[in-house]
Chain A
Amino acid sequence: MTAADLLAVVMVIGLTAYALTGGADFGGGVWDLLARGRDAADQRRLVSAALGPVWEANHVWLIFVIVMMFSGFPAAFGIVGSTLEIPLICALAGIVLRGAAYVYRAYGAGAAGPDHWWGHVFAISSAITPVALGVCGAALATGDVTEGDALAPVTSAFGIVCGVFTLAVTAFLAAVYLCRDAASSPETEHLVPGFRRRALGGAVVSGLLAAALLPLLWSEAPVVAERFAERSVPFVVISALGGIASLVALWQHRFTAARITAGAAVAGVLWGWAAAQYPDLVVGRATVDSAAAPEANIVAMLIAVACGLVVLIPSLWMLFRLFANPEVKS
C-alpha cells in the first residue's frame, strides 16, 4: 500500500464520519421541513436541541475531506472543480445558508426577520446539500464529466437517483438518532412514536432506492459496477444486515442499538462504493496514483493527520459525552 492509498483510506474514513455526523444533521433539517401535526413545534425544538452543540464540529469533517482531496490529490481536485460546478455550488449554497440560518434562528430573536423564516431556510438548505453531494459522488463513479458540459452531472438519471438516495439516508439516520434523543427525557417522550415511524419509513425508502440504484450502476458506471461485484459484496452484506437489524431494533424500541446498526448500514454503502471506485478517483480521468501529490508531501500530511487525531479524538469524545442528552426548552 502506497502513501497515497493510505491517504485515500483516511479520506474515506473522514467521509464516513461526515456521513454519520454531518449527514444526520442534514437529515435533521429534513425533519424540520417535514414537521407536521400537533407537536410540530416540539419536533423542531428537539431537532434544534440535538444539533446545537455539535453542528460546527460535525461539519468540519467535510472541510477535512476537501482539504485531503486538494492537498493529496490536487489533479483530481482540479478536475472536480472544473466539471462538477453546478452540484458543488448547490452544495456550497446549502452549507452556507444552512449554517447561517441555524445561528440566526438560534440567536436572532427576530431581529432579522421572523425566526420561522430562518427555520425554513435552514430546513430547505439542509435538504439541498445531501442531494448535491450525492450527485457529485455519482459523477465520480460514472466519469461522466466534461469541461464543456456543466449540466451533465445533474441531468443523469443515475446522478439524480444517487442524490435522492443520499437525502433519504441522511433522513433515516437523523430519525434514528432523534428517537434516542426523544426517549432520553420525559419531556420529549411523546415525540418518540413519530420519529420511530419516520425512521422505519426512512429505512424502507432508502432500501428501495438502493435497490433501484443497482441496475443503474451497471448501465451507467460499468467500470465501477464490475469492481463492485468483485470486491464490495462483504460491505453490501454489512449494509443490508445493518438495515434489517435497524428495523428490528426500532421495532423493539432499542434505540441505542438502532443507532449502531443504522450507522453500520450507511458506512457499508460508503465503503462498498469506495472499494469499487478504487483505484479511480474520477473514473477515466484520475486515479489515486496519477493524481497524487509528491510522496514526501503525502507522508507529511499523514503524520499531521496522526498527530491531529491524538488531539481530536479525546476532544470529540468529551464533546459528545457532555451533550449526550440534548436539553430542550419548552
Chain B
Amino acid sequence: MVHAAEVLSHVAALAQAADPPQASSVSTNLARAQTAFSLAFHICFAVFGVGMPWLLLFVEGRWVRTRDPVWLALTRKWSRAFAVMFAVGAVSGTALSFEFGLLWPAFMARYGGVLGLSFTLEGFAFFAEAIFIGMYLYGWKRLSARAHWLTLWPIAIAGTFSTLFIITANAWMNTPGHVTEVDGKVVSAEPFAPFLAATAPHQLIHMLLAALMCTGGIVAGVYAVGMLRGRRDAYHQRGLRVGLAVLLVCAPLQLIVGDWAARVVGNEQPIKLAAMEGLGHTRTHAPLTIGGIYDEQTGEVRHGIEVPDLLSLMQGLSADHEITGLTAVPPEERPNAVLVHSAFNVMVGLGMALIALSLVTGVVVLRRRRRGERPLLPTGRPWLWAAAASGPASMLAMLAGWEVTEGGRQPWIVYGRMRVDEAVTSSSGMPAIFTGTILLYLGLATALILILRRMATGGPELAATVGETSTTPDIPDARPAPASPDTPARVRGDGDGGDGPGTSAPTTPRTDPSSSEGDAR
C-alpha cells in the first residue's frame, strides 16, 4: 500500500522494457494476449467440466440411495448450472483448437504431429463426455434413476482423462524430449513423447486437484452467500458441506504436489524457477523470497520477506545446493520475472490461506463431533465469509498457476526449441481479430453470469417445497412408449432445461425443478 504508486510505475516501466517495439511484436503481443485470454476464459469453465461430475456423482448417488428430496434438489440445480458451463467450455475449447492454427501456424506446422496422440485421445475423451452429457441432461425421464446416475461415470472419467491428455501436450511444451529435429523440421518423434514429458505427472495431478478445488470452492461459495442472506435450510447446509469438504481435503494435498512441481521445475527449467522465486544471480544458500517485486536492474526482490537458505534447502536438501539465477541466460531469454514471481506468490499465498482454513475447520469439526454438536461445520458469519471467498480464491490461484507455468516458459513456446516470435502468425488482421474476440467473450460471459445468478437465487422456494414433499418425487423409471412420448408432466413443463431443451418456457421464469414434481402428481 505504501509504495503502491511507485510499484505500479515500476511495473509499467518493466513491462515496456520487456517488449521492445519491433515490427512484428505488435502482432506477437496481440496473439499472446489473445491466447492467454481465450485459454483463461476456457479454463475457468473447463474446471467445472472436470470437477462437477464427481460432485454430482456424490449428490445424485445420495439421492438414489436415500430418496431424500434435498439431495435431488441439489442434483437438479447443479446439473443445470453444469449444462450451461459445459456448453460454454465446449465452444470456447473449439475456439482454442481453431486459434492454434490461426495464431500459431508455425508452431502447429512444426509440432502438430508430435502432439497428435495427445490431441487425438483428448478428442475421444471430449466425445465420450459430450455423448453422456447429452444422455444425462436430457435423460431424466427416459432413464431409470440408477441408469441416470450411471451416466455420470463416463462423464467424470472422460473429463478427467481429457485433462490428462491436454496436460501432457502442455507438459511437452515445457519439457520437450524424445523428438529429433533436423533444420527445424521434425524428422522423428516418439508417439508417446508428450506422455513422457518430465513435467507431465505433477502438472496433471496439480491440475486435477486445482479443478476439484475450484469446483468445490465455487459450490461452497454459492451456498455460503445464500446462508449469509439468511437461508439456513438443509438444502443450503448440505450444498455448503459437499463443496467445502472437497475443497478442504484437496488444499493440503495441493501443497505437497506443488512442492514436488517446484523441484521438477528446478531440475528441468531452472530459469523458470528463478523467475518464480525472483532470483537474479546464481548462488548457493539461496533464500526463499515471499512477496515483493522483482527488480530487473538489480536482480533482487524489493519489499519481500527473505527466509535465508530455504530455497536451497527445499530444492537440494542442503544449503550448499546451487540455484541458477536469471542472469545465467542473456536478457532476451529471460521470462518476465515481475509477473511470474507475483503470480507464484498469489498462487502459493492463496493455497496457504486455503490450507489454513482447512486445518482450522478440521479442528473445529473434530471438536464438535466429540461433543456431539450439530451441525458439524461451523456456520458463524466469519466462517461463511471465508467459505464464500474460497471459490474465487481457488479460481485465482488456478489462473495464477497457469501464468507461472506459461509465463515462466517465455520467451519459448516450446522450451529451448522454438521461440514465441517464430511461431506467431504474420497476419495484419490481428488487432481486429483481437478486439472481436474480447468483445464476443465479454458479451458471452456477461450473459452467462446473469443466467447463473438467476439460477443461484432459485434456492429458497425450492428448499421449502422440497421440505414439504415427503414422498419420492416422481421421475418415471421406464422410458415412455415411443408412440406417446409426452406424459402430462412434460406437457405441463417445468421450464427446466434439464428435461429437454427449454423453449421459451411460458412457465415461471424462476425455474424450480421440484415444483414440477409436485405438479406431476
Contacts and interface: CB of A to CB of B under 8 A. Distances in A.
How many chain B residues sit at the interface, stated as a range, is 35 or more
Interface stretch (B132-140, B223-231, B290-298): B132-140
A219 interface: no
Nearest to A293: B113
Contact of A71 (B110, B120, B133, B486): B120
B365 interface: no
Contacts of A51: 501
A304 B120 contact: yes
Contact of A305 (B120, B453, B484): B120
A56 to B, nearest CB: 4
Interface in B500-516: 500-505, 509-511
Interface in B107-126: 108-117, 119-124, 126
Contacts of B53: none
Given A57-B127, A82-B426, A107 B497 contact: yes
A170 B444 CA distance: 26
A252 interface: no
A56 B97 contact: no
B485 interface: yes
B490 interface: yes
A98 B482 CA distance: 30
A81 B121 contact: no
A71 B116 contact: yes
A60 B126 contact: yes
Nearest to B428: A150
A21 B43 CA distance: 27
Contacts of A16: none
Contacts of B94: 59, 62-63, 92, 95-96, 99
Interface string A63-97: 11011101111110111111001101101110111
A104 interface: yes
B123 to A, nearest CB: 5
Contacts of B133: 56
B120 A322 contact: no
A49 B436 CA distance: 31
Contacts of A319: 131-132, 134-135
Contacts of A77: 101, 105, 108-109, 112
Contact of B440 (A72, A96, A308): A96
B267 interface: no
Interface string B330-350: 000000000000000000000
Contact of A66 (B80, B97, B425, B444): B97
A110 B504 CA distance: 8
A45 interface: yes
B451 interface: yes
Contacts of B101: 66, 70, 77-78, 80-81, 88
B470 interface: no
Interface string A311-327: 11001101100111111
B366 interface: no
Interface stretch (B82-90, B378-386, B388-396): B82-90
B126 A63 contact: yes
Interface residues of A, number: 93
A118 to B, nearest CB: 8
B116 A88 contact: no
Given A70-B101, A329-B493, A329-B503, A296 B108 contact: no
Nearest to B494: A329
A234 interface: no
A296 B426 contact: no
B12 interface: no
B87 A100 contact: yes
Given A52-B138, A111-B451, A72 B425 contact: no
Nearest to A73: B112
Contacts of A318: 131, 135
A54 B134 contact: yes
A292 to B, nearest CB: 8
A75 B109 contact: yes
Interface in A290-309: 292-294, 296-301, 304-305, 308
A52 B106 contact: no
A13 B150 CA distance: 30
Nearest to B92: A96
5 contacts: A56-B133, A67-B120, A70-B108, A71-B119, A78-B106
For the complex of A and B, list the 4 residue pairs with the smallest distance between their C-beta atoms, beginning with the closest.
Answer: A293-B113, A78-B109, A71-B116, A74-B112
